[in-house]
A = this chain, B = another copy of it.
Amino acid sequence: MVQNKSAVFLKFPKEFPIPGEHFAIQTKDLHADLKPNSVLLRNLYFSLDPYMRGRMSEAKSYIPHFQLNQPMNGNGVAEVIESKNPAFPKGALVSGMTGWEQYSVMPEGFVSQLRLLPENARTSKKIPLSAYVGVLGMPGFTAYSSLKIIGQPKAGETIFVSAAAGAVGQLVGQMAKKLGLRVVGSAGSDDKVDYLLKELKFDAAFNYKKNGTILENLRHVAPEGVDIYYENVGGETLEAALECMNTHGRIIVCGMISQYNTTTPYGIRNLGHLVAKRITMRGFINDDFAKEWYGDFLKDVGEWLEGDEIIYKEDVDEGIDGSLDAFVGMLKGKNFGKQVVKIADL
């Protein structure tokens, strides 16, 4: 009998989730009694994303919260090892919503939402499998679609990206550079700031923990104001961005990670700028844009990666056992690049 280790949700956290209390790795025997059109997956990579913290809350949202005492799920890359679904045969590599576990039995409704990886995925030297939960997956599409659709970027404008070395921020910054914008970013360590400046070629970047307030830092790197703010952080950073926005500015609200693990949220006091500067502030989830834009995304970003026009840093944690700590670390900003768990070798 095969054993299956899963990350199981136990209790709604109010602040940072604690491994062993709010979630835990549990081992069970694997029962793979496949119904018609279902498949059994051997999970290879699992994506740890800030939005998953929202699924640990009972607040109403676009996606149901994790079920208590059940394995959690999220974006993964997996190999089909048993199949009763002809569209996803044994041996196929897939990406999409999988389990935070070693093996997942996927019922029909979930199978139909998986995507087959391209044929060269097994052998490509340019594109690791983990990319399909990163730059070529949900975070990549989030960056690509929202920058285009909500950001309406124009050459010569200034964009400010917070959490700029993270899963989404990296691609936003590089895309904006390609489009001729002036790109400035913030991150939480000097190493990340160096990466933004030297590797991603940002025009300016700052460590938000140093050299004065965030507002002082932002004014210094964006003396002519901000036309687009790519919001990953919330709190004081959002307040600083609102101060610096230009007329008809756009705020792309992707996330607010600084506010996910606190019982005393930061109050934003300067939303009056929305009127005075005629700002549009829009939240979204990438599903809103997938039907129309996913094909363009795969083509464009795939070509940029193949052509070495963009780079993408991943922070790969090995093995499911440490993945709970890796998740908490990501919520605290300890990851450097897109946080991924490698569950198994291909």
Contact = CB atoms under 8 A, between A and B. Distances in A.
Interface of A: 54, 59-62, 234, 238, 247, 253-256, 259-260, 265-285, 288
B284 A282 contact: no
Contacts of A268: 267-269, 271
Contacts of A277: 60-62, 283
Copies in the complex: 2
Contact of A275 (B269, B273, B280, B284): B284
A283 B276 contact: yes
A62 B272 CA distance: 12
Contacts of A283: 273-280
A278 B283 CA distance: 4
Contacts of A280: 280-283
A195 to B, nearest CB: 26
Contacts of A270: 265
A256 to B, nearest CB: 5
Given A256-B272, A268-B268, A269-B267, A247 B62 contact: yes
A285 B59 CA distance: 34
Nearest to A283: B274
Nearest to A271: B268
A259 B272 contact: yes
Contact of A253 (B62, B255, B275, B282): B275
25 contacts: A59-B276, A60-B277, A61-B276, A62-B278, A238-B271, A254-B275, A256-B271, A259-B272, A260-B272, A265-B269, A265-B272, A267-B269, A268-B268, A275-B283, A275-B284, A276-B283, A278-B285, A279-B282, A279-B283, A280-B280, A280-B281, A280-B282, A280-B283, A281-B281, A282-B282
A234 B268 CA distance: 11
A275 B255 contact: yes
A15 to B, nearest CB: 15
Contacts of A276: 54, 59-62, 283
A276 B254 CA distance: 10
B274 A282 contact: yes
A270 to B, nearest CB: 7
Contacts of A273: 283
Nearest to A267: B267
Contacts of A284: 275, 278
A254 B283 CA distance: 19
Given A278-B283, A283-B277, A283-B278, A272 B60 contact: no
A285 B281 contact: no
Given A266-B267, A269-B267, A280-B282, A275 B256 contact: yes
A234 B281 contact: no
A269 B254 CA distance: 17
A285 B274 contact: no
A259 B59 CA distance: 28
Nearest to A285: B278
Contacts of A266: 267, 269
A318 to B, nearest CB: 31
